[in-house]
Amino acid sequence: MTNTMYTPFKEIDFGFSDAEGYVSSNKDMFNNIFIGDELEALMSPDKYYLIGEKGTGKTAYAVFFENNDYKNTTSVRMNLEDTDILSFINMKKAGHLQLSEYKDIWEVVLLINIIRCVRKDDIDAIFSFKQKKYDAMLAVLENYGLLAFRPEVVTTLSVIQKNSDRIASELKASILAVSGTTEGASSFETAEGSETKVIQNSIFLLKNLLIDVVKGLRLKKNRFLFIDKIDVYNSSSINFDEYKLWVKYLAEAVYYLNTSVFRAIKDRKGFIKIVLLLRPDVFDKLNLYNQGNRIRDNSVILDWQTSYRDYRHSKLFKLADNLLRYANNAVDALDPKDDGFYWDLYFGWKSSSTDPNTRTQDDSFISFLRFSLCRPRDIVEFLKAIKQQAILVNSQQTDTTFECFHSYKCQKSISDYFLQEARDWCLYKYPNGEFETIKHFFGFMNTGKAVKYSEYLTYYNEYIRSCENRSKMIVFEEMETPEDFLQLLYELNMICYIETAESGETYQIYCYRMRSISDLSPKIPPNKEYRVHRALLKSLNIEDENRV
């Protein structure tokens, strides 16, 4: 076969950078390119937290389960939004919700959303009495419009806040009517007293009633609820401490329902599970009870790291090759190629070796790795940037060239992407103005070379004085000491530190490289040398200075 039979690079569709786009379109493409090494781990009834850096595929796993009936499992995603946090905060401000009751209200919201997800034909009909209790519960919830929507928080919370006492009372009466007795009445207290006390008591009563019915469910297939977009909110209108509490009690509610309610269901063919999608830095700040064991026993951590030596066996390389293979699926169906063939077809060029002691040249994928944080989103964005360059020069070729990847426009596009990723990473805590303050620092550390700690301190002191003299520069808590600010830059992966081996060889150590199941928030050591990530240099207007 000749190259003319393959799709020209500029015509390849590289899909969506955010996997959520595959919910409504290109599902076949998504299933063909998806790398699902953690699917079996997520199938475990004991895995409740999916932890991964921004861009590592947390949403992709949730979308895969949502799009596919995988091993007798159907799933739904629930995206959280700013308005969800504000609903909790407003209930608290109105005096209807104490901090200690965040967990209770989350449990009610999650139980109702699980009930929305379960279809009647999922339930084993042989348990007729429990089926009647379930039907009675559905009738009450339906009457208040709680089953009319896709899983969400604001609507559920609003209805509960206005009607929790009536819902709880009607639900209790319906369940007892089905029983034909007062069985279980002693375990449910009647809500009475002031409006605030009524709401608080009725939420607790409603939670216990829902749990009682859900524990009686016997499912024929698995039902998963994935909770996503927790770190995407407008920090300019929501206090970070409020946000942390909101997520903390959500994580506690997820743990309680999974361990004490869903796992307690006996004689089941299928099981219910809620999975919370979290960034490692967010999870680490929650200070959950027994947090270390939850990470080890109840979490799946996404890790795409690879090395220059072993990249052809990595998930990142397989993803890139899958994208190129899918673009040629008709040809490949007639003449299937080995793994890596399509990458070599399109990216057969080499570049100067970054380690002349072990290799004379670097493969093209190594050039990708040098600019990446080992995230699948990085690879997709790089391919899109190269495609735009191929369109710009009207390339008719199948293969891409060294010049195409290293062109100024392509490299600037990649650099802009990384700066935007850093900005987005900050949004869960820092408004856009504060990110501009962070970015301002690099006007002082204006070099692509490694700098000593003493040099960093000089840059930092000049930077702080400059910020204090500028009305639009917001000096925030993490800027108050040079150590805290250095740590922030490290967590953003905007800088690394240099480690020197006994052999004299140097290594650039980034935060994402050091994260592990035992250390979700690695610290940057003082008194080292530090460097700006090469992918940021163009967007920060820093000269590369022939950096290796």
Residue whose tokens read 């002693």: 186
Pick the range with the lowest mean pLDDT from 175-179, 239-243, 361-365. Answer: 175-179
Helix 315-326 vs helix 376-392: angle between axes, to the nearest 10 degrees?
A: 40
What's the whole-number mean pLDDT along residues 214-218?
86
- pLDDT range class, residue 190, cuts 50, 70, 90: very low
**CA atoms in the 13 A half-sphere facing the CB of 530:** 25
- Check if the beta carbon of residue 63 is closer than 8 Å to that of residue 19: yes
Exposure b/e, 466-475, CB count within 10 A at least 16 = b: ebeeeeebbe
Q: What is the pLDDT of residue 153?
A: 85
Tell me, rounded to whole angstroms, the distance of Cα 8 from its chain centroid.
33
- pLDDT range class, residue 476, cuts 50, 70, 90: confident
With 70 as the cut, is the pLDDT of residue 1 above it?
no
With 60 as the cut, is the pLDDT of residue 444 above it?
yes
**pTM for the whole structure:** 0.92
- Residue 124's DSSP bridge partners are none
Q: Which residues contact 102 (CB under 8 A, 6 or more apart)?
A: 88, 245, 246, 248, 249
